Amino acid sequence: MIMTTVIEDRKLGTVTLTFDGKKVEALKGVTVLEAALGAGIYIPTLCYEPDLKPYGACRLCIVEIEGMRGLVTSCTTQATDGMVVHTETPKVNQSRRITMELIMANHHGDCLSCAKNQQCELQKIARYLGIEQEHFDRLRKSTRVLPVDRIHPAFDRDLNKCILCAKCVRVCHEIAGVGAIDLAFRGYDAKVATFGDKPLLESICESCGECVSRCPTGALLPKHAKQATQQVKTICPYCGVGCSIYLGVRGNEIVDVQGDKESPVNQGGLCVKGRFGFDFVNHPDRLTKPLIRKEGRGKDTKVNGNLRDVFREASWDEALELVAEKLSQVKGKYGPDSIGVLSSAKFTNEENYLVQKFARAVLGTNNVDHCARLCHASTVVAALAAFGDGAMSNSISDFTKADLLFVIGSNTTDCHPIIGRAIRQGVKFRGTKLMVADPRAIELSKLGSIHLRHRPGSDVALLNAIMHVIIEENLHDKRFIEERTEGFEQLAETVERYTPEMAEEITGVPKAHIVKAARLFASAERAVIL
The arithmetic mean of pLDDT across residues 394-404, rounded, is: 87
Measured CA to CA, the distance from residue 345 to residue 270 in angstroms comes to 19
- Name 373's Cβ contacts closer than 8 Å, sequence gap at least 6: none
Per-residue confidence band for 133, with pLDDT thresholds at 50, 70 and 90 = low
Distance of CA 489 to the CA centre of its chain: 42
Per-residue confidence band for 140, with pLDDT thresholds at 50, 70 and 90 = low
Q: What angle do CA 418, 421, 426 make, to 5 degrees?
A: 135
Task: Kindly report the pTM of this predicted structure.
Answer: 0.85
Residue pLDDT, tens place only, 223-246: 887 888 999 999 998 988 999 999
Residue pLDDT, tens place only, 477-526: 999 999 999 999 999 999 999 999 999 999 999 999 999 999 999 999 99
Give 3-state DSSP helix, strand, coil % of the chain, rounded to 5.
Answer: 40, 15, 45
CA dihedral 62, 33, 133, 97 (to 10 degrees): -10
Per-residue confidence band for 134, with pLDDT thresholds at 50, 70 and 90 = low
Domains of the chain listed by start with CATH number: 3-104 (3.10.20.740), 144-282 (3.30.70.20), 295-357 (no CATH), 396-529 (3.40.228.10)
Residue pLDDT, tens place only, 204-218: 999 999 999 999 999
* pLDDT at position 136: 58
- Rounded to 10 deg, the angle between the 511-523 and 459-472 helix axes is 60
Report the sign of the C-alpha dihedral through residues 278, 283, 289, 290, in that order. Answer: negative
Residue 138 has pLDDT above 90, yes or no: no
Per-residue confidence band for 440, with pLDDT thresholds at 50, 70 and 90 = very high
What are φ and ψ of residue 235, in 5° steps?
-115, 140
* pLDDT at position 1: 31
What are φ and ψ of residue 22, in 5° steps?
-105, 125
140 DSSP β-pair partners: none
Under 8 Å between Cβ of 228 and 255: yes
Q: What percent of the chain has pLDDT over 90?
A: 69
